[in-house]
């Protein structure tokens, strides 16, 4: 017989899972909830209890229903019927239930496509944390940059800083497809809490001749990082940005060395 330590640990883990599987259907509400909580930290093993956990989405206890959503979210996949139940709970429950539903749907990714109406609706919620959960869910569930970009653009103008920051991070993945966001990103450079992430997003989006006036305005910004961005963006336009040469030559006198260096590089790119 194989008496290796790994075999022994595997048997113990299996027995523990079986015990939890029995407890999630225990008549005691507290035990059901605690067993579900334990399953969220049990790795891949609980996948065999997916159907039993899904049944608990209809449990009389709110705490058990929330815990069931956490478990299914941790598993990362479930049945279409369970997704429909989670969506219904999010639509009909309170704020806490909605949070649990949105988080579970986000973890399920594209298979939760049927929940898109709830995710889009929640993007209008009065509470910023729920809007953020909805945004993260939409980024995970929605497919195609042409559908995701309008969501990001809307989030860029949200009153919530975490929401705007989540959008900027998402825009980075779109690269040149994020060009329509350039005007709003440049606008966000005026807010100190947004500036670093906005610059990060702008660095990966190719310069667009359409926005040359905005790049020129960036040269006059109080922040040297923004001025350097303006130089770089204009330089990337090449000879098409010839009208910017006078202002770029003035930038050679900027008090910051890295701005002066970026201005010189831009002038070389434009003059060829």
* Average pLDDT score over residue span 29-53: 77
**Is the pLDDT score of 180 beyond 70?**
yes
* Average pLDDT score over residue span 203-207: 92
pLDDT at 3 (0 to 100): 44
Q: With pLDDT > 90 as the criterion, what percentage of the chain qualifies?
A: 74
* Average pLDDT score over residue span 38-47: 67
- Angle CA(56)–CA(62)–CA(67) in degrees, nearest 5? 55
Q: Which two tokens stand for residue 258?
A: 């890295």
Least confident of 3-7, 82-86, 95-99, 144-148: 3-7
Q: With pLDDT > 70 as the criterion, what percentage of the chain qualifies?
A: 91
* Average pLDDT score over residue span 194-216: 95
Q: Which two tokens stand for residue 79?
A: 């049945």
pLDDT at 90 (0 to 100): 97
**Is the pLDDT score of 25 beyond 80?**
no
Question: CA-to-CA distance for 249 and 245, rounded, in angstroms?
Answer: 6
Query: Closest by alpha carbon to 56, among 32, 30, 90, 84?
Result: 32
* Average pLDDT score over residue span 236-246: 96
Helix axes 224-236, 192-204, angle to 10 degrees: 20
pLDDT at 10 (0 to 100): 60
Who's near 163: CB < 8 A, 6+ residues apart?
A: 128, 131, 132, 135, 155
Q: What is the rounded (10 degree) CA torsion for 192, 164, 140, 95?
A: 130
Which residue has 């929940």 as its token pair? Answer: 115
pLDDT at 42 (0 to 100): 66
**Is the pLDDT score of 181 beyond 90?**
yes
pLDDT at 265 (0 to 100): 97
If 0-12 CB within 10 Å is exposed, 13-18 middle and 19+ buried, where does residue 45 land? middle
pLDDT at 12 (0 to 100): 59
**Is the pLDDT score of 179 beyond 90?**
yes
Who's near 243: CB < 8 A, 6+ residues apart?
A: 212
pLDDT at 5 (0 to 100): 43
* Average pLDDT score over residue span 57-64: 93
Measured over the CA atoms of residue 109, residue 111, residue 113 and residue 118, the dihedral's sign is negative
Question: CA-to-CA distance for 187 and 173, rounded, in angstroms?
Answer: 20
Contact 135, 151 (CB under 8 A): yes
Question: CB 213: neighbour CB atoms within 10 A?
Answer: 10
Contact 137, 119 (CB under 8 A): yes
pLDDT digits (tens, 9 = 90+) for 97-130: 999 999 999 999 999 999 999 999 999 999 999 9
Query: Closest by alpha carbon to 177, among 139, 214, 206?
Result: 206
pLDDT digits (tens, 9 = 90+) for 246-271: 999 999 999 999 999 999 999 999 99
Question: CA-to-CA distance for 120 and 111, rounded, in angstroms?
Answer: 16
More confident residue, 194 or 15: 194
């Amino acid at each position: 017989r194989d008496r290796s330590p790994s075999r022994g640990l595997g048997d113990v883990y299996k027995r523990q899972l079986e015990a939890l599987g029995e407890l999630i259907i225990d008549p005691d509400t507290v035990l059901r909830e605690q067993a579900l909580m334990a399953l969220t930290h049990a790795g891949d093993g609980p996948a065999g209890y997916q159907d039993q956990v899904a049944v608990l989405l209809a449990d009389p206890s709110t705490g058990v229903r929330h815990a069931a959503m956490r478990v299914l979210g941790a598993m990362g996949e479930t049945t279409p019927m369970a997704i429909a139940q989670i969506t219904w709970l999010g639509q009909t429950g309170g704020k806490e239930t909605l949070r649990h539903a949105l988080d579970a749907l986000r973890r399920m990714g594209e298979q939760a496509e049927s929940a898109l109406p709830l995710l889009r609706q929640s993007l209008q919620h009065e509470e910023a944390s729920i809007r953020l959960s909805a945004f993260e869910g939409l980024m995970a569930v929605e497919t195609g940059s042409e559908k995701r970009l309008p969501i990001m653009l809307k989030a860029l103008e949200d009153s919530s800083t975490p929401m705007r920051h989540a959008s900027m991070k998402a825009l980075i993945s779109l690269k040149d497809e994020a060009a329509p966001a350039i005007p709003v990103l440049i606008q966000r450079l005026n807010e100190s809490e947004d500036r670093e992430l906005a610059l990060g997003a702008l660095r990966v989006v190719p310069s667009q001749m359409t926005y040359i006036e905005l790049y020129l305005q960036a040269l006059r910004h109080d922040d040297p990082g923004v001025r350097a961005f303006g130089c770089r963006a204009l330089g990337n336009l090449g000879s098409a940005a010839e009208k910017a040469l006078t202002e770029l030559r003035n930038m050679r006198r900027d008090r910051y060395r890295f701005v002066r260096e970026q201005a010189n590089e831009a002038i070389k790119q434009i003059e060829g």
